[in-house]
Homo-oligomer: A and B are copies of this chain.
Amino acid sequence: MLEIAVLGLLNESPMHGYEIRKRLASLLGAFRAFSYGSLYPSLRRLAEAGWISEEASMQAPGAARSRRGKRVYRLTAEGKEHLAELLADVGPDAFDEEGFGARLAFFAQTRSDIRLQVLEGRRRRVVEQRDGMKSALARTGERLDRYTRELHEHGLESVDREVRWLTELIEHEHSDASTRPSDHPVTTVKNSEWRSPDGFKT
């Protein structure tokens, strides 16, 4: 989601559109690279909503490295508030690829308990996906030709890797949270993977 990414970036410092895109690319890595065709309309929407302000940047000859840009975008007070709400909103959007990546990129600005909720929600989602893929592969795996099966197996392994990665992140988060009370970083992961065989009701 561009909205959260732009606001998160502008929370660190005001920027030009061009710089936003560069920082975005390096921040999200190959994960996602937005184009100007979506960035500029998004900036306009955010400005109309009042989350950011749009100032023409004057030329300061001797001053800092204020390059000769045309428009500088800055997070407003409302925008700061809105960003906090977005980062703290642990709805379904926070768990899909896009939303999770955007939130993870700004975890440094996120409360610890929210971080945990996001990680666990994402993990729940990916586990669900993995199990679906696994059973689909078990059902139809024999009938697939070699290449399609390879594609599915590679995808399954990727998702499986993501589950393990998220598990590590969660464990690390737990051990971080318990640096004070206990000297043992290994906190027992309770509630580990109770899998109801037929559905997902709490």
Residue ranges of A at the interface with B (Cβ–Cβ < 8 Å): 26-31, 101, 104-105, 107-108, 129, 132-133, 136, 140, 145-148, 150-152, 154-159, 161-162, 165, 169
The answer to whether B147 touches A105 (Cβ under 8 A) is yes
Chain A to chain B contacts (Cβ below 8 Å), 28 pairs? A26-B136, A26-B140, A28-B151, A29-B133, A29-B136, A29-B151, A29-B152, A29-B155, A29-B156, A30-B129, A30-B132, A30-B155, A30-B159, A31-B151, A101-B151, A104-B148, A105-B148, A105-B151, A107-B145, A108-B145, A108-B146, A108-B147, A108-B148, A150-B165, A150-B169, A154-B162, A154-B165, A157-B161
The answer to whether B104 touches A151 (Cβ under 8 A) is yes
**In the complex, what distance in Å separates the CA atom of A59 from the CA atom of B155?**
39
Which B residues are in CB contact (< 8 Å) with A165?
Answer: 150, 154
Which B residues are in CB contact (< 8 Å) with A26?
Answer: 136, 140
Which B residues are in CB contact (< 8 Å) with A27?
Answer: 148
Residue in B closest to A136 when the chains form the complex, CB atoms: B26
The answer to whether A31 touches B147 (Cβ under 8 A) is no
From known contacts A161-B157, A161-B161, A165-B154, infer whether A147 and B107 are also in contact, taking CB-CB under 8 Å: yes
